[in-house]
Amino acid sequence: MGSFKQMYYQIVFGTKHQKSTISNDYCEELYKYIWGLISAKKCKLYRINGVEDHIHIFCDLHPSIALADLIKDIKVSSSIWMKSENKFPSFEGWQDGYGVFTYNNRDKQMIINYVKNQKEHHKTESFLDEYKRLLTENEIEFDEKYLL
């Protein structure tokens, strides 16, 4: 008998000190690079998007991959790539932590659309406010001092 699962993850993390260091001119290249990392781990990317100070990744995991390992690999590899490409000159790295929110198949299209509309969405809500809202909506307790 094989292994079966149906769980989707929205992974959210920001730049170090929430600085606006992800240039709109090159963000698509970053997203394609991360897509390649996710695909190499036999995981499936459904949507990736973000703004200057953070990104959202909506994906599933191959049963052999641990979530923390995937996120570490994405952050480490993309950080090295961004610093070597010279397209993100102000980029210092990613924040230490991250947020992960799980969804089921009924939520899938809603979250794909949410991630797809990040640039429009952040015309009216800051990353910090969005992050606090996602934590609250998912009933995750947090101390605000750890959000910066």
What are the pLDDT digits (tens) for 130-148? 999 999 999 999 888 777 6
pTM value is 0.93
- Number of C-beta neighbours around residue 15 at 10 A: 24
Measured CA to CA, the distance from residue 148 to residue 14 in angstroms comes to: 10
Average pLDDT on 19-47 reads: 96
Measured CA to CA, the distance from residue 22 to residue 15 in angstroms comes to: 8
E strand residue ranges, the chain? 8-14, 44-51, 54-60, 99-103
CB neighbour list of residue 21: distance below 8 Å, 6 or more residues apart: 15, 52, 53, 88, 90, 91, 92
pLDDT > 70: what percent of the chain?
96
pLDDT > 90: what percent of the chain?
85
Structural domain boundaries of the chain?
8-146
> Does position 14 have pLDDT exceeding 80, yes or no?
yes
| Cβ atoms 22, 90 nearer than 8 A | no
Measured CA to CA, the distance from residue 138 to residue 9 in angstroms comes to: 13
Average pLDDT on 96-119 reads: 94
- What local confidence, expressed as pLDDT, does residue 130 receive? 93
| 2 confidence band (pLDDT: 50, 70, 90) | low
- What local confidence, expressed as pLDDT, does residue 1 receive? 62
pLDDT single digits (tens) 35-75? 999 999 999 999 999 999 999 999 999 988 999 999 999 99
Average pLDDT in the chain: 93
| 4 confidence band (pLDDT: 50, 70, 90) | low
Distances from the Cα of 95 to the Cα of 35, 71, 129, angstroms: 20, 12, 16
For residue 124, what is the DSSP state?
T
> Does position 101 have pLDDT exceeding 80, yes or no?
yes
Average pLDDT on 83-89 reads: 93
| Cβ atoms 14, 127 nearer than 8 A | yes
For domain 8-146, the CATH class is alpha beta
